[in-house]
Chains A and B, each alone.
Chain A
Amino acid sequence: MQTLGLAPWLVGLPLAGAAVLLLGGRRTDRWGHWLGVLASTAAFAVGLVLLADVLRLPADERVAVHSLGTWLEVGTLQVDAAFRVDPLSLTFVLLVTFVGTLIHLYSVAYMAHDVDRRRFFAYLNLFVAAMLLLVLADSYLLLFVGWEGVGVASFLLIGFWDHRRENAVAGKKAFVMNRVGDMGLIVAMMLMLWQVGSLSFGDVLGAAGGMSTGVATAIGLMLLLAACGKSAQFPLQAWLGDAMAGPTPVSALIHAATMVTAGVYLLVRSAPVLEAAPTAQLVVAVVGAVTLLFGAVVGCAKDDIKKALAASTMSQIGYMMLAAGLGPIGYAFAIFHLVTHGFFKAGLFLGAGSVMHAMDDSVDMRRFGGLGRALPVTAVTMGLGWLAILGVPPFSGYWSKDKIIEAAFVGEGWRPWVFGTVALVGAGITAFYMSRLFFMTFAGRRRWESEGEGARHPHEAPFLMRLPMIVLAVGSVALGGLLTLGGGFTTWLEPVVGHAEHHDPVLPVWLIITLTLVLVVLGAALAFRLYAVQQVPVEPPASNALVRAARRDLYQDPVNETLAMLPGQVATRTLVYADRTVVDSAFLRLASGVRRAGDGLRRSQNGYVRSYAATTLGGLLVVAAVVWALAY
């Protein structure tokens, strides 16, 4: 590959942008946001050049590693600062830089009135750099640097408006829960060092086949823990909803399209380890299935438009995890769904941002309604994204999600029936809550005041915001179909994830498709009846236990607080108490003992030469006596 040397620039350009914006301070306020856009665009251009170069090569030469030299060397461990350019990392590079650039553009207008816009762009650039490092790294250790980098950027951006306490708390919550996952990655790396003695992908994945099942399972489960933290999967899902406190472009880029999918990337990248550990693989699929339903149920009850979208993100990533846990037949579809989801979910979030822009930052869907006429462009672009996520043919979600549902039905024993049914039902619920979101916002009677106090005057967003929405909407419509043409995307990924043998599902494919579509139509129709035809109450009505539970995220916070936080707090308080009463008091007693001894010994220092001489002589005699006693 001639252009392989460009790979470090992918990380370097946005990083340089962030550095200039952060170090330049207020001086860069006037043009800083454009520098941010430029850095992201340049990275996208570099990505395109690399893509063109890779496409020229035959499939088996498409994996290349570019090393910048030894990064660190400790004992026998040597880690190179190496970048891996292959179809999988390039897919991510293009997704991150393309969607990232669009969202940079959107943010120029969205954040126009924020005094800290420059800082916002610095963090966005930092995120892009870290995310690209994460996907380009050729070793788990370098990946970990990017992994932590996106965590930091996410923390900084969730708490961007940290003058409000709950935003700062949300940032902290995301950070802490991510740390739990990070521990998994650290432990996984330790296990790799112990077993393989190396952290580079080539060594570890090459040795995966030779590992004992126990070790492979341990590594796989630890990697899964890491993925759960980053990708908001059960049981580490609780931070994603709160993360919506960040500015909406952040939610679109980081918490929908890119960062939260890093867990899926990690698992697909580590596929050989998972294949050596069937138990871990099964757990991955189970986690995906559980999260899929969890997110879908929560999404049905949320009245906050961003939180409903966040629940949907969680659920969609659940699909990807499920696919990643299905083995070779699932990997390509997991990534495929990840890409299409990145487009339509980012589009949906940007649409939500446009609605909030129009409604003075209100997010309560019960006070929207009938916005379709006031915001035609937003309604159309979000509508296309809605159809895509529903999986309506020929929109892009259909091509990717339907493949996952089909793959979930493949296998033997109970698994295809359970996973397939979950995926199928999930599609129906998805249709219901996404339609609920769409109809509550754009259809029905308007539930906001146009006059008097608290009046809203919805208006379409400026062009800079509309343009990215339109581009993403086009992607939501066409991307899935385009990438499916001739099995293009799965073939493209084959050098990384391997070729998947075709297996027949336990049900005929036509039946699966029909069932899916029927459920989708049913869900959408139900939502239409409830939220477009019937009047939506402005105040959430008292409801049955399931709805109340879903509104409270199925009690994820109380559960976490009881199971994790409370024992932790008790443990720390006990330790602090023990430290004060045992350690401190022992230390203080020692200190006062030394002081008392000093006071006592000091008396001998009385200033009289005669007593000093006596001390000297007495000391000599004592020493002599000791020697005498010991030696003779």
Chain B
Amino acid sequence: MIDFVAPTIDWAAVSPVLVVLAAGVLGVLLEALVPARARRSVQLVLTLGALAGALVAVALLWGRVQEAALSVVGGSYLLTPFGLGVQAVVVVCALLGVLVVADRPGGQDAFAPTAAAVPGSTYEEQARRAGLEQTEVYPLVLFATGGMMLFPATDDLVMLFIALEVLSLPLYVLCATARRRRLLSQEAAAKYFLLGSFASALLIFGVALLYGFAGSVRLGAIAEALAGQGASPLAGMDVLALAGVLLVVAGLLFKVGAAPFHAWTPDVYTGAPTPVTGFMAACTKAAAVGALVRFLFTLAEGMDAGTRHGVEVVLWTVALLTMVVGTVVGVVQTDIKRVLAYSSIAHAGFVLVALVGFSETGAAAVLFYLLAYGLATVGAFAVVTVVRERLTTPVPDAEHGAASAASDTLLGEATHLAQWAGVGRKAPWLTAAFALFLLSMAGIPLTAGFIAKFGAFSAAVDAGAWPLAVAGVVASAVAVFFYVRVIVLMVLTPPADELVPDGGAPDGGAPEAAGTDAGPDAGAAAHAVGGGAPTGTLTAAPAATRTVVTVVTTPGPAALVVALCAAGVLLLGLLPASVLDLAGQAAKFVP
């Protein structure tokens, strides 16, 4: 007989994750119980409430975790100050991201009425007419958020893998649910799923190797084994350890979106519904970088100089490559979502710059960077959701025999850069906010991005990695080009409303061309034509039908998010001291 001893669980330490995941489960139940009419409101309240609750829990734990890391179930869940800091960033960005998800410019949200319907089918058209909404997106967002919060707060490689899947699977689904350009969206989801599985396989393979090496899946035990202690029969086989570390790091870097594991990023960011893109760009990156810091910083303690040097070489190579790919390829993009996607790749590189050296200042810089980047990213994608195409069809007036009235239909997002010309005149405040986000991403002083970049690069210089810092500064300078190009386009170029020809083929007319970088012209045509119409409504278009770019400026949650993010970016740029202090506290004992 084995005596079963119930584990004592520090519920308070788990509470941030628990609140979010429990609300997700509750949300699934509510889908079944609440009448369709009220579902969206109920889900929204539940989701926002859960995230706000998680934020409160994080705040309450802040002081406690400073004294000692909180270990639950033998380290399966290990809350360090740094992990808590990452959770805070994730929750803040998720809160803002959910508000964008909830936005309904022109009365329709960004998600398909029924994601299961075949694109362009009668069933889908019926669902659209019935006004169905896919309110499952809220629980899905909560599950993903829960996984992200778990990701940097575990000492257990198996738990790390579980967290990876918990955050990834809902994202795969979310990517497939766009209301418009559905084929593109489904293609993106399929790509993300396949490549994500591939990365997961790499990671779990790495876990297996490390387990073989150390005889344990605990990071602490592996670090000890690396240091030559412990009782594993394979201890001392550093090749095994290094290969394992490399594979796990590759799996994590895939989620971070760092080159050469970045290939999915532009396609998935473009195809996914824009609110989801904003959410995952900000939160996934934060969580994955958090997990990477946790993994590397813990193991670095046990590594001998040679192994450590090897890992540093990996970081150097990847950071350098990521910055170059992100900025250089970003320069030639013609689609705003792809510009932001490559910008997010470049930022992954800048964050990695802060990591080399495995120092506390580096970790603090990473936290601040993630917050600054997250605010600007969620805000920028929120702006993208409200810059739309509008189909104007003059209705012939029988009595006067003239086209006196026009019926307007709000179409999808106007993501081609040419369509953004002159947006500044249509919506000056929104443009100002967008310019602020871009300038922050470019790292212009007085914005959060400047302080963040400064912190990251000075951490690298402190660690002796000044060539990397120099490369980062050069890459930032190149990146300024494409950020400023968008601003110039919005503010100084006159609008070209008649640029886009009449709405043509139904949705997904050119799915093969869409979602790649291969040909800018083909891509542009796909966005202009394929993205033209709401699903299935299009009959033969009258000759006078034209598509104009319009900005939905009615106040909604997205506008609130833009305002909040802009305020945050400015505040972090002007008065960064208190947040820097918090980041410093969170980085006190990193692992």
Residues of A bordering B, CB below 8 Å:
591, 594-595, 597-599, 601-607, 609, 611-613, 615-616, 618-620, 622-624, 626-627, 630-632
Contacts and interface: CB of A to CB of B under 8 A. Distances in A.
Nearest to B190: A609
Given A607-B516, A615-B260, A622-B260, A631 B242 contact: yes
B516 A618 contact: no
Given A597-B328, A598-B331, A602-B518, 5 more contacts: A603-B518, A616-B198, A620-B261, A626-B314, A632-B306
A554 B262 CA distance: 75
A618 to B, nearest CB: 7
Nearest to A603: B518
26 contacts: A591-B481, A594-B481, A597-B328, A598-B331, A599-B332, A603-B517, A605-B263, A605-B267, A605-B517, A607-B512, A607-B515, A607-B516, A609-B190, A609-B191, A609-B194, A612-B264, A613-B194, A615-B263, A616-B198, A616-B254, A620-B202, A622-B260, A623-B246, A626-B317, A631-B306, A632-B239
A602 B517 contact: yes
B195 interface: yes
Contacts of A618: 260
Contacts of B260: 615-616, 618-620, 622-623
A383 B38 CA distance: 99
Nearest to A602: B517
Contacts of A613: 194-195, 198
Contacts of B518: 602-603, 605-607
Given A620-B250, A623-B317, A624-B243, A605 B190 contact: no
Nearest to B267: A607
A607 B313 CA distance: 30
Interface string B242-267: 11001100100010000111011011
Contacts of B190: 609
Interface of B: 190-191, 194-195, 198-199, 202, 239, 242-243, 246-247, 250, 254, 259-261, 263-264, 266-267, 306-307, 309-311, 313-314, 317-318, 325, 327-332, 478, 481, 512, 515-518
Grouping DSSP codes into helix (H, G, I), strand (E, B) and loop, the A interface class, with mixed when no group exceeds half, is helix
B475 to A, nearest CB: 10
Contacts of B310: 627, 630-631
A180 B329 CA distance: 49
Contact of A601 (B247, B264, B325): B325
B329 A602 contact: yes
Contacts of B329: 598, 601-602, 605
A592 to B, nearest CB: 10
Contacts of B332: 595, 598-599, 602
Contacts of B191: 609, 612
B516 A606 contact: yes
Contacts of B328: 594, 597-598, 601
A631 B266 contact: no
A102 to B, nearest CB: 50
Nearest to B338: A605
Nearest to B246: A624
Nearest to A593: B328
**Quick one: which of A619, A622, A632 has the most chain B CB within 10 A?**
A619
A65 B515 CA distance: 75
B264 to A, nearest CB: 6
A287 B306 CA distance: 74
Listed from nearest, the 8 A-B pairs whose CB atoms lie closest are A619-B260, A607-B516, A605-B517, A612-B263, A598-B332, A631-B310, A602-B517, A627-B310
A604 B263 CA distance: 9
Nearest to A616: B261
A597 B267 CA distance: 20
Contacts of A599: 332
A600 to B, nearest CB: 9
Contacts of B195: 609, 612-613, 616
Q: Chain A CB within 10 Å — which of B191, B250, B329, B516 has the most?
A: B329
B314 A623 contact: yes
Contacts of B516: 605-607
Contacts of B311: 627
A612 B198 CA distance: 10
A435 B417 CA distance: 78
A613 B192 CA distance: 11
Nearest to A611: B263
B515 to A, nearest CB: 5
A630 B313 contact: yes
B299 to A, nearest CB: 14
